[in-house]
Structure 1
């Protein structure tokens, strides 16, 4: 389980707010509201890792490794943590590590996000239609409410024209409302990035592995680097794909993170005299290993 250092007081305030809004949704447990909790009110393991809101993508015309290693755009947790993808430099090849950042929001802001998500159509029954766009990803939004987990999925939300003729007026309006909510969430993360940027430090790093092949159109072979993590190639992610995975923790995690600072997305990593392409994917608080990536779509 991946954790970030934070204030128990903030975690307690947000969780109690969720309890009042979410009635009996207490399966994950609730921290105490007291600034210095005693043993009887100490939060159970994982209470601060309860996922409240997430925006992510699924599918699309991208390589299998990109689908497996894709990070959610934004994840919001019960203790007020917001984990999101930060700005990426416009260079090729890109850095080996994604720019994952995090910040915290107040209980009031968290409740506003929940309310706005539901108002934007994140609930069962909302019809976003099927626009006339091929091979586009599906934007998925989930939110935990008093009625339980609510979801919304809109195909080609960003790629389709707002007035796509294959969409009804009601579907166009539903997609516009969902887009507006996601834009507001993006503005929030942008403020977190500019006001107090914090790099996300995972406790577990997934390495998605495949045999190295020379990228097309690249002038010369990139410099190789010795792989300082667990033995490659690791466990199979899918019987139909030549993708494997290893989970990196402890001292090896520090070594891989250090080496990745001098690597790119195209760096050949050498293990046991063989070269491998390795995509580094920080695991999020509720993720525990490579198994969590097998369900990626």
Structure 2
């Protein structure tokens, strides 16, 4: 999903930003302000070289409902200018909040280089074999890293679900999975420790809303409170001919209105648009994403 303009490549973007020291930071060393909201008539900004993805940990596949699959966020995304966007903690309550707790911070060029080296050392390189454990319907953990040598992506099925001594895995495969899992599990603490300041809430320039007709979940406490939908007209465009969820994107004033309304909403909230109730999964778009089409590639 990375998009670059002109003759840029991801490796070239990494090299430039590492050499020039363009990690975003204030004079005090804290992360610079997040992306500013666009006006009500402007589309999301066109991604540039600074938005080139250099490290990502994400999940693919697994036994997941279509709307959750389409709206699934990567665990951690790191960009060429040192920005890190990651999933922060969420309260252990049901139903959960309507908005994901995305956080962001900034790495210095030296720390960014160190982080990429750690990913390569953890096995994100050609030839690493993670095997196929005896676990059904589990997601695949994918790790992508971009260095001056190019882009590398590896995938480990059931990285967290499989037994470390799964008999379907060789000793070498077990050891490779152990190294990758240690890197993935420690990545959150690692990036936070490397940041130039405290993590801040991530405010997107655009927010995708994945909608489908609301169905009463049968909550014993009763029907959740309905909230008027303040975003673009629902239901929006179909993301796939084989699945029901549709998608719209809120920017500018509509984005502000959705974020404000979602502050007191939950994952079960019925959103009302033109006398119909909708279940809406709110998915902040990341720097390299520009619209619903980017979610169609979800696996």
Fold conserved between structures, TM > 0.5: yes
Match of 1:284 in 2: 286
Q: Is the Cα–Cα contact under 8 Å of residues 28 and 46 in structure 1 kept in the other structure?
A: no
Picking from 141, 144, 151, the partner of 1:142 is: 144
CA–CA separation in structure 1 for the residues paired with 2:271 and 2:15: 42
**Cα deviation, residue 232, structure 1:** 0.1
Match of 2:20 in 1: 33
Classify the secondary structure of the residue corresponding to 2:282: strand
Q: 1:28 to 1:288 in 2, by over 3 A?
A: farther
Structure 2 counterparts to residues 1-297 of structure 1, below 5 A:
25-26=11-12, 30=16, 33=20, 46-191=48-193, 196-297=198-299
Gaps of 5+ in 1: 1-18, 36-43
Structure 1 stretches of at least 4 aligned residues deviating more than 4 Å after TM superposition? 27-32, 189-193
**Cα deviation, residue 269, structure 1:** 0.2
Q: Is the Cα–Cα contact under 8 Å of residues 30 and 47 in structure 1 kept in the other structure?
A: no
CA–CA separation in structure 2 for the residues paired with 1:34 and 1:106: 7
Q: How many residues were matched structurally?
A: 267
Classify the secondary structure of the residue corresponding to 1:26: helix
Classify the secondary structure of the residue corresponding to 2:128: coil
Name the TM-score, length of structure 1 as normaliser.
0.85
Match of 2:36 in 1: none
Gaps of 5+ in 2: 1-7, 23-45
Name the TM-score, length of structure 2 as normaliser.
0.84
**Cα deviation, residue 50, structure 1:** 1.1
